[in-house]
Amino acid sequence: MIAALDLKKYFGPVAAVDGVSFTAQDGQVTGLLGPNGAGKTTTLRMLYGVMRSDGGSIEVDHVDATKYPRDAQARLGVLPDLAGLYPRLTAREQVRYYGELHGLEGDALHERTTDLLKTLDLMHLADRRAAGYSHGERTKVAIARALVHEPQNVILDEPTNGLDVMSTRAVRAIIKRLKAQGRCVLFSSHVMQEVSALCDSIVVIAGGKVVAHGTPDELRARAGYDSLEDAFVALAGAGEPR
């Protein structure tokens, strides 16, 4: 479970995140939906501990992430905004590196790595260096290394951005599987179909504020539109300064 309460982040005089609160539950997929520049990435960066918040609190499985950032990070698997691979390492080595940083070693690490590469259909890349991977392959390897320590909570920042249909489907399948395993999945997107197809709960964010929070049906009803896209435009527009 990930809980954000009244999160704030300022860049100089600009409030990039201005009092964001929401909870992402275990066994659910929570979507963070918003236009470009709404503050999605900044919010997520504070959640996964690479940016300090200027106010508010974060709890990951009831661990205070602002006080114990390493403990919170140990419970998180993250596909960050920038998820570059090491071009001279193979897929297996990229995954092993993160596993070792999490304290895994020996047979346990080997088995876990092989399992992940098999499940994500990456065995053909296992011993190939990352320099020649396609965008979809890079994303899948980045997701694999984020899951090596079997985290209870998974944060994915625009995981399907720029992917082709096949890769997008593969990523969706991963998200569904994580949900079925009872994990808490939080992902950001600005693609409507994706959010409506996957999410149990949607947080609409605009101008650094949460403008709506609920199930897809609730959001449609609230905005008075049948299509989620129209609802989103209406809700997101409400957050923009006029």
Partner 1 sequence: MRVPRPLPRWVRQARVVLVKELVDSFRDKRALASILLGILVGPLITAFMMNRIADRQKEADDVRIPIVGARNAPALVQWLSQQSGVLVTPPPADPEQAVREQAEYVVLVVPADYADDFRASRPASIKLIADSARSDARAQVERVQRLLQQYNAEIGALRLIGRGVSPAAATPLKVEGIEVSTTQQRAAKLLSVIPLMVLLAAFTGAMQLATDATAGERERGSLEALLVNPVPRGALALGKVAASALCAMLAVMVTAGLCTALLRFIPLQELGMRFRFGTPHMLGLMAAALPMCLLTASVQSCVATLAKSFKEAQTYMGILILAPMLVGVMGTLYPVDHQPWMYGVPLLGQYVLLTSVLGGFAPGPIAFAAAGLTCVASAALMLRATVALLNDERIVFGR
Tokens of 83: 């998820």
Q: Is there binding between residue 88 and partner 1 (CB under 8 A)?
A: yes
Choose the stretch contacting partner 1; rule: CB under 8 A; options: 30-38, 76-84, 109-117, 197-205: 76-84
For position 84 contacting partner 1 by CB under 8 A, the verdict is: yes
Let me know: does 130 contact 180? Beta carbons within 8 Å: no
DSSP letters for 161-215: TT--HHHHHHHHHHHHHHHHTT-EEEEEES-HHHHHHH-SEEEEEETTEEEEEE-
Q: Beta strand pairing status for 209-214 and 63-64? A: unpaired
Residue with tokens 């489907």: 169
Q: Which is nearer to partner 1, 84 or 132 (CB)?
A: 84
Q: Which stretch binds partner 1 (CB under 8 A): 28-36, 70-78, 118-126, 185-193?
A: 70-78
Among 1, 5, 15, 51, binds partner 1 (CB under 8 A): 51
How far is Cα 79 from Cα 146, in angstroms, rounded to an integer?
A: 6
Minimum distance, C-beta of residue 13 to partner 1, in the bound complex (Å):
16
Residue from 6, 100, 164, 217 in contact with partner 1 (CB under 8 A): 100
Which span (54-62, 92-100, 189-197, 233-241) binds partner 1, by CB under 8 A?
Answer: 92-100
Residue 147, H or E segment? none
Structure tokens at 112: 């876990």
Tell which one of 3, 5, 15, 50 touches partner 1 (CB under 8 A): 50
Q: Please state, in angstroms and as integers, the Cα–Cα distance from residue 142 to each residue in 96, 124, 127, 160, 194, following that order.
A: 12, 15, 15, 12, 20
Binder among 22, 48, 133, 232 for partner 1 (CB under 8 A): 48
Q: Is 187 in the site for partner 1 (CB under 8 A)?
A: no
Sign, Cα dihedral of 108, 113, 119, 123 = negative
Give the binding range for partner 1 (CB under 8 A) out of 18-26, 96-104, 199-207, 212-220: 96-104
Query: Does 85 contact partner 1 by CB under 8 A?
Result: yes
- For partner 1, the binding residues (CB under 8 A) are 45, 48-52, 69-71, 73-74, 76, 78-89, 93, 97-98, 100-103, 129, 142, 145-146
